[in-house]
Amino acid sequence: MGEPTKHSQSDKLHRRGLLFILSSPSGAGKTTLSHMLLKQDSDITLSVSATTRPPRPGEVDGVDYHFVSDAQFDAMVAEDEFYEWAHVFDHRYGTPKGAIRAALKEGQDFLFDIDWQGTQQLYQKDQQDVVSVFILPPSLDELRRRLESRAQDSNAVIDDRMDRARAEISHWAEYDYVVINDNVDECFDRVREVLDAERMRRTRQTGLIPFVRELMGG
Ligand code: 5GP
């Protein structure tokens, strides 16, 4: 076993983290894709949002969301604790600032499962770090079928989500990348390719300057 080669060091060059946004209408698969990404890639972590929506069966406080009361949400807004927040459906959702800014410098990537409103706000706050991907369903019929098969929501809620899906889809052109989720494994591969390429952007590879200086002999 010799010393690590220059080549293996180049694989670990310091880079700045990114804010990776996956948006889609409910049921188009972004939650499944998020879980796949988090399981496969230890360099990216989920930004856990706060919401005033009650938990669905199986959802865990602090993992899926921070479930908070209206009063707690008001207090967080007043204390300027959100990177962005928005009304979605009948509830409020927000991204706590937490340690995001500091962790980005250390090379930590964050995954965001947020809607178009949150995406616009994140762009306004931090354009250079945001990479956004919009996931489209293959058809509205298929989207409805997926929402119904969840069996967690009533028919009225599903009708409402279908209306809102059309509204959400109308924002597709504001995203950097758009992927159609016809087959979840293929869609996941496309999403991974986007993330891998964006990590290699020259401007994010902050370790390049010292690396190239050494490469060229000081
Ligand atoms: P759900 O109630 O199905 O978990 O989420 C409803 C919608 O709220 C989804 O479109 C999701 O992307 C969006 N959402 C979740 N967290 C946030 C957040 O922190 N900010 C914003 N703007 N939207 C969010």
Q: Say what the pLDDT of residue 9 is.
A: 53
Q: Examine the pLDDT at 3 and tell me if it is beyond 90.
A: no
Domain that holds residue 132: 19-47+107-217
Q: Say what the pLDDT of residue 10 is.
A: 55
User: Does a structural domain hold residue 84?
Assistant: no
- pLDDT higher for 93 or 26? 93
What does the alpha-carbon distance between residue 107 and residue 18 come to, in Å, rounded to a whole number? 8
Which residue(s) pair with 65 in the sheet? Answer: 61
Q: Say what the pLDDT of residue 97 is.
A: 87
Q: Considering only CA atoms, which residue is closest to atom 2 of ligand 1?
A: 53
Q: Considering only CA atoms, which residue is closest to atom 19 of ligand 1?
A: 94
Question: HSE of 205 in the Cβ direction (CA atoms, 13 Å)?
Answer: 16
Q: Examine the pLDDT at 157 and tell me if it is beyond 90.
A: no
Q: Examine the pLDDT at 135 and tell me if it is beyond 50.
A: yes
Output the CA 22–ligand 1 centroid distance in Å: 11
Output the CA 116–ligand 1 centroid distance in Å: 9
User: Does a structural domain hold residue 89?
Assistant: no
User: Does a structural domain hold residue 111?
Assistant: yes
User: Does a structural domain hold residue 34?
Assistant: yes
Handedness of CA 63, 80, 85, 120 (dihedral sign): negative
User: Does a structural domain hold residue 4?
Assistant: no
What are the pLDDT digits (tens) for 49-72? 999 999 999 999 998 899 999 999
What does the alpha-carbon distance between residue 53 and residue 67 come to, in Å, rounded to a whole number? 7
For the CA of 114, the nearest atom of ligand 1: 12
Output the CA 118–ligand 1 centroid distance in Å: 8
What are the pLDDT digits (tens) for 179-205? 999 999 999 999 999 999 999 999 999
CATH of the domain at 164: 3.40.50.300
- Best of 35, 65, 93 for a ligand 1 pocket test (most atoms within 8 Å of beta carbon): 93
- Best of 110, 115, 150 for a ligand 1 pocket test (most atoms within 8 Å of beta carbon): 115
Total domain count for the chain? 1
User: Does a structural domain hold residue 133?
Assistant: yes
Q: Examine the pLDDT at 41 and tell me if it is beyond 80.
A: yes
Residue ranges around ligand 1 (CB below 6 Å):
26, 49, 53, 84, 86, 88, 93-95, 113-115, 117-118
User: Does a structural domain hold residue 87?
Assistant: no
Q: Say what the pLDDT of residue 7 is.
A: 44
What value does the mean pLDDT of the chain take?
Answer: 90
**Residue 97 to residues 55, 77, 125, 152, 165: CA-CA distances in angstroms?**
22, 11, 11, 30, 27
Q: Say what the pLDDT of residue 1 is.
A: 39
| Percent of the chain residues past pLDDT 90, beyond the cut | 73
User: Does a structural domain hold residue 69?
Assistant: no
For the CA of 47, the nearest atom of ligand 1: 19
Cβ–Cβ < 8 Å for 64, 46: no
The arithmetic mean of pLDDT across residues 154-161, rounded, is: 86
Q: Examine the pLDDT at 16 and tell me if it is beyond 90.
A: yes
